[in-house]
Structure 1
Amino acid sequence: MAIVKMNKFTLLTFESQKEKLLEALQNFEGVEFINLQEEQSTEKIEEFKDLVKDEVDLKCAKYEENLSKLKFALNFLQRYIPQKSGVKAFLEDKKQLSYRGLNSIMEKNSWENTYSDLKEREVKLNTLSNERTKYETEIKSLELWRNFDAPFKYLKEFKKTSYFIGTLAKQYEQELVSKFKDEIQYGHFEILNSQNQDIYIFAMVHESEKQKAEELLKNYGFSYATLNYEEEPRVLIENYSAKIKEINKEEEIIVGEIKQFISNVEELQLAYEYYNNLIIRNYASNNFLRTNKIVTICGWIALENNKELEDAVIKTIGQDYYLNFSEVSEEEVEKVPIKLKNGGFSSAFESLVEMYSLPLYSEVDPTPILSVFYFIFFGMMLSDAGYGLIMVIASAYAIKKVKDPERRKTFKLFLFAGISTMIWGTIYGGWFGDLLNYFGIKPPMLIDPTRDISQIFILSLAFGVIHVFVGLGIKAYILIRAGKLKDAIYDVLTWYLTLIGAILMLVGIGGSLGKWLLIVGLVGLLLTQGRTAPSLGGKIGGGLYGVYGITGYLGDIVSYSRLLALGLATGFIANALNLIVSLFPVPIKYILSPILFVGLHLFNLVINALGSYVHAARLQYLEFFGKFYEGGGKKFTPFKLSEEYIKITK
């Protein structure tokens, strides 16, 4: 399997047919448009230079307004309708509906009434919320004066008396009280409240001593409080609290009404998909060029779908079109969108390649080879048959429940990872660590990880050598395919000779063969790795640097020792957990041990599975891809139907 062969299409049709054609192409879901309106594109294509940019239909503004209303309604309802959670919700697929069925439903969809009802209730809730906030603010302010036990309106009735109500710094409290008593003959001073660094006071004096009291308070930083109330603070607080309770009750009634709209969620979602499709369809025009009557469309399509596209065009607009297919030119290689096509096993690992970077159109798809090595490495790192069995059961159940192709690929990845883990767990004799030993059962094993560590280490390095050599082999294939046979000899064969010679010498087999292979390989590197340098000094420097590169290869191979380290870590941690669980005395053991066993081993499974996932990917990205892979491809994103809430079928 490989990168799907693509070609470019050019489609001309009448402007009057554009809307029908775009609807058909959206249902076709097999083309990606090229933006002809970009300046560079129009300059390079001679026959397009006299065309003008196509535009979005004026009706699109109304579609966007409707979509905005629907977004509001759905988001608003989401606050009040219980959301699904747990495994069942995670595995639930989107509802499927045909495109024709969607259009039929929209003819009698009353979403606008639902929107109006929800908007009305939102306005009411906002009004109530604002009122509650206002009363809460008033209460917070009045709480500071709660100890003032008379209506505020009485203060306005004083004839021969002046009053002072406000705040000042707490640090002056004792000094001010003392001076007030000494200097004011006819007055009353009262501290109503104390908070943080301030005190809240009320004072009144005879009119004859008003100026003296003002001067005294001013010296201590007195600040007047603005209290525009009539009633006593305690009474006001009670009244406002009662009003807040009324608001809360009214809110509960409105929220109850909103929850009744749960049955309208689906009609809103369907309307959302309908208008979103119209908007997507309209904005596609921003890729096209046109004259007064003709629209020009260009894009990418898989070579195998050419006939299907032509049939779809004929079925939609008859013979009123011009359609041409052209092969990918050398200048367009980096622009071609990438679509991978692999078998049932390899396709599950495509997400790993995409997570790093899709290949360029001129490269090879590394997925089939990556899938084999990732399968081996993941299981070797997790290496517990019990953990693998859990992954297999959980993934198989998810695959059975889920129908969405992309989600199924993810679950298949973990299914294969679980199978590999079971295989390596059986080789190592690990079933939830050494659990079976506690029941007097000694599981069969091919390698004992507690004794044969050196054997596992050698096996890990052997996998590393094979992995690196395969990467170099792919590099040679790419160079030979591009007609660069000499480069394949200089950059691959020399490394094969060098590395094979070094390995033969290290393991002490092959006699003098290893030494001669190493010498030939190093001389070859010295003479060829600087060949592109313009000067003799540059060639010599490049050659020496190429020879130094052997340390990088040795480092790459040694890094595969993580296959040993992570595999042993999983097993030894599992053994330690079993020991902890077994230490509880009877009868507590029979109650706590099962709970602890499940919890601790699930934790160990998750942590080490995550580590295996990351480190198995790392070996692919650095040690493997570094030998041949450039990447940088852009994913094929076809012009298709919206699937935000509903899976729309053709």
Structure 2
Amino acid sequence: MFRSQRMLVFRAVVPQRLQEEVVSGLHEVGIVEFRRTKLELGRREVQLQPLLSLLSRGNQVLGALNPPRKRTTLKGEPSLQECLSRLEKILSQVEPALAALLSKRDELRRRREEVLKAEELAKELFSLGVKPEHVFGSERVSVFLGRLEQEKVKSFLAALQAELPNRFWFKCSAGAKPLFVLACLREDSHRLSPILYRLGVEQIEPPAILRSGKPLEETQRELGRISGEEERLRRELVSLSELAEDLPPLLELLGIYVERLEASQLFGYTEATVLFEGWVQKEQASELREVLEKQSGGRMILKTMEVSREEVEEAPVLLRNPKVVENFELLTEIYGLPRYDELDPTPLLAFTFPLFFALCLGDAGYGLILGLLAYFPLGFLKETISGRFRRMLFVCAAASIPVGLLVGGFFGFGPLWVNPIQRPVPLIKLAIFLGVLHVLVGFLLSSVKGFWRGNWKEGLDGLAKLVGAAGFFGLCFSLVGIGLYEFGIDYRFPKVDLFEAFIPSTTGPFLFRLLFYSGLLVSIFLSALQKRGVGRISGPLNTVYGITGWISDVASYSRLMALCLATSIIGFTINYLLGMVYGSVVGGPVYLLPLLPLLALGFVLLHAANALLGTLGGFVHTLRLHFVEFFSKFYEGGGRKFQPFKA
């Protein structure tokens, strides 16, 4: 914990004639990540485009052949040329036939869509009292079929009446964009075109199938013919898929060859040898040696080295945490993986994130509901709540039950420690104390990171800010005279005024002033030491001004109290209003019994909505406190995940 998996840089030299065997062995065990060799050696460029094109063609064929195919395995492992030859042979047989079948399938889909539209149109015409065969007009009569927005129908009729007074027939259905039938003499039809264009009429060309005297029966017969053709097409696709049963393993093998060829472009070459270079986990270095010796028959040279300072930024990161903590790596990855020489904040997140979330949610009943949904996700939640997120949510829900019983109660009833509605002060004290502690831990981790990197200035600066912030907030608490009695601690910060607290020559809380001024002076000295020119003045000024940032950061943690209070007030209000309805019923059990199911339904729905709002708000604000207030003190991020060369 707190450190990513230790990595080693390795360099290995093997004869070129054994390159394929060695790379194949490393690919199978998947314990190394190759990088481009830094030594000035020969390179090998590989034309991958033909292979990638063939891979793409094969995957398109597989995507089109949806019917189930029996799984097959290849006898032995064909060479690259054999694999390419067999793939080309299969694709040359399958692709032309598949293209024809897919074209036919698209045509059938188009025909089905047209027939369904014709059927729907015929039904609408029948509902208007119009026979579908009449919409084609006659020698003397023109018929227009179309759709128009409902709000334009009156304007349309007025325009028609003005242009052809009492010389047209019009029928219109209901709806937002109704179907209309308009008939007029053929010699008058040209006078309607400007009106249709001006009002944006969507004209409909009646399909030929409506000419039948019984269009609904004809559409059903046509749909039956299409279904028969689709079934024959499906059987042809199944038969075609049997010709391509070797395609999946061949494509998988080709993908492996492509990965190996891509890796070969990173290697360095001499006349007779090849040099591999990359990263391996320190605990797997011995396994790497065993694989190289086995695949090369002992004809190899391997050298492993610790990661140098120059290579820290490019070194890959692999987090290693216990199972419960591992789930919270999701949050670390959202922000950005730590650099190789940086602390992993996930173990702290695994403790503080559930705690802060529980305070925001503020109700044990809501935590119980959330835990049940995380443990037994239903319906669409199975896809939404899954994997690490599901397990992390369950931990947060479990933390919400005891915390909720203390500060929010159970569905708005009776907290055990303090009622935030009646006594919010203890809760805001708790939020501020947690904020101070969280910020101080951030400064501590900044100091640890600096000393860990061998950068004494960075480590000393983090330590100075830790000491200075501890003293500063001690003085702030003394200004208010905060007591800790609500937490079972018999202590009150000594009450002083502003002048006594921050002026060094006055009497007052000596220890807090000593911590504050010693930390501030050391931090000012270090900022001046690390700058040049004007920076020796601006650096110390920025350090002093940064104290205001401490105040705003800690004040931001008051949102823990605000969200808890909001959830509690809404929960209390729900119970109060339902209780008023229950108490207002008169007339005895005869009138009360029918009302109980409604009250129970209202209780469930309203508290479920409150729980949903509390969950969303709690997650977002807890995430913000960690990403903005906490991580800004020590965390850089920007690490790159370890991606082993693995088949």
Same fold (TM over 0.5): yes
Deviations 1:184-227 (A, max 9, x none): xxxxx9757689999764447xxxxxxxx9xx97999799xxxx
Amino acid at match of 1:588: P
Q: Tell me the CA shift for residue 559 of structure 1.
A: 0.8
1:526 and 1:295, CA in 2 relative to 1: closer, same or farther beyond 3 A?
closer
**In structure 1, the residue corresponding to 2:312 is in which secondary structure?**
helix
Residues 212, 218 of structure 2: 8 Å contact kept: no
Q: Tell me the CA shift for residue 288 of structure 1.
A: 2.2
1:52 and 1:146, CA in 2 relative to 1: closer, same or farther beyond 3 A?
same
Aligned residue for 2:8?
7
With 307-316 and 537-546 compared, the bigger mean Cα shift is at 307-316
Give me the whole-angstrom Cα distance separating, in 1, the residues matched to 2:241 and 2:368.
40
Percentage of matched positions with identical amino acids? 24
User: Which structure 2 residue ranges, 5 or more long, are not aligned?
Assistant: 79-89, 145-155, 173-178, 197-204, 378-382, 482-492, 495-507, 586-591
Residues 209, 218 of structure 2: 8 Å contact kept: no
1:473 and 1:273, CA in 2 relative to 1: closer, same or farther beyond 3 A?
farther
Q: 2:318 pairs with 323, 335, 339, which one?
A: 339
Q: Tell me the CA shift for residue 543 of structure 1.
A: 1.5
Give me the whole-angstrom Cα distance separating, in 2, the residues matched to 1:279 and 1:11.
25
Give me the whole-angstrom Cα distance separating, in 1, the residues matched to 2:246 and 2:351.
42
Q: 2:261 pairs with 282, 285, 291, which one?
A: 285
1:452 aligns with 2:418: no
1:369 and 1:68, CA in 2 relative to 1: closer, same or farther beyond 3 A?
same
Q: Tell me the CA shift for residue 498 of structure 1.
A: 5.0
CA RMSD of aligned residues (A): 4.9
Amino acid at match of 1:73: L
1:266 and 1:531, CA in 2 relative to 1: closer, same or farther beyond 3 A?
farther
Aligned residue for 1:425?
404
Aligned residue for 1:275?
251
Residues 12, 321 of structure 1: 8 Å contact kept: yes
Give me the whole-angstrom Cα distance separating, in 2, the residues matched to 1:577 and 1:258.
60
1:45 aligns with 2:12: no
Q: Tell me the CA shift for residue 424 of structure 1.
A: 0.4
Q: 2:211 pairs with 224, 236, 239, which one?
A: 236
Residues 26, 639 of structure 1: 8 Å contact kept: yes
Q: 2:64 pairs with 72, 76, 89, which one?
A: 72
Give me the whole-angstrom Cα distance separating, in 2, the residues matched to 1:554 and 1:222.
70
Q: Tell me the CA shift for residue 608 of structure 1.
A: 1.3
Q: 1:630 pairs with 628, 636, 640, which one?
A: 636
Q: Tell me the CA shift for residue 420 of structure 1.
A: 1.2
In the TM superposition, 1:192-271 aligns within 5 A as 201-203=184-186, 236=211, 238=213, 244-253=219-228
Q: Tell me the CA shift for residue 57 of structure 1.
A: 9.2
Give me the whole-angstrom Cα distance separating, in 1, the residues matched to 2:272 and 2:215.
69
Give me the whole-angstrom Cα distance separating, in 2, the residues matched to 1:150 and 1:396.
63
Q: Tell me the CA shift for residue 115 of structure 1.
A: 9.9
Q: Tell me the CA shift for residue 348 of structure 1.
A: 2.0
**In structure 2, the residue corresponding to 1:474 is in which secondary structure?**
helix
Aligned residue for 2:609?
603
Q: Structure 1 length normalisation: TM-score?
A: 0.70
1:392 and 1:525, CA in 2 relative to 1: closer, same or farther beyond 3 A?
same
Amino acid at match of 1:496: V
1:388 aligns with 2:382: no
In the TM superposition, 1:104-503 aligns within 5 A as 122-132=102-112, 191=168, 201-203=184-186, 236=211, 238=213, 244-253=219-228, 272=248, 275-276=251-252, 278-289=254-265, 296-316=275-295, 318-319=297-298, 321-396=300-375, 408-428=387-407, 430-434=409-413, 445-494=416-465, 496-503=467-474
1:250 and 1:316, CA in 2 relative to 1: closer, same or farther beyond 3 A?
farther
Aligned residue for 1:619?
625
**In structure 2, the residue corresponding to 1:376 is in which secondary structure?**
helix
Amino acid at match of 1:71: G
Aligned residue for 1:552?
549
1:562 aligns with 2:533: no
Aligned residue for 2:201?
none
Tell me the matched-pair count: 555
Deviations 1:48-107 (A, max 9, x none): 2x2222444966654432222112334xx79xxxxxxxxxxxxxxxxxx9xxx9668999
Give me the whole-angstrom Cα distance separating, in 2, the residues matched to 1:254 and 1:232.
21
Give me the whole-angstrom Cα distance separating, in 1, the residues matched to 2:538 and 2:397.
48
Residues 382, 608 of structure 1: 8 Å contact kept: yes
**In structure 1, the residue corresponding to 2:280 is in which secondary structure?**
strand
**In structure 2, the residue corresponding to 1:478 is in which secondary structure?**
helix
Amino acid at match of 1:567: C
1:532 aligns with 2:530: yes
Q: Structure 2 length normalisation: TM-score?
A: 0.71
Q: Tell me the CA shift for residue 5 of structure 1.
A: 0.8
With 326-335 and 619-628 compared, the bigger mean Cα shift is at 326-335
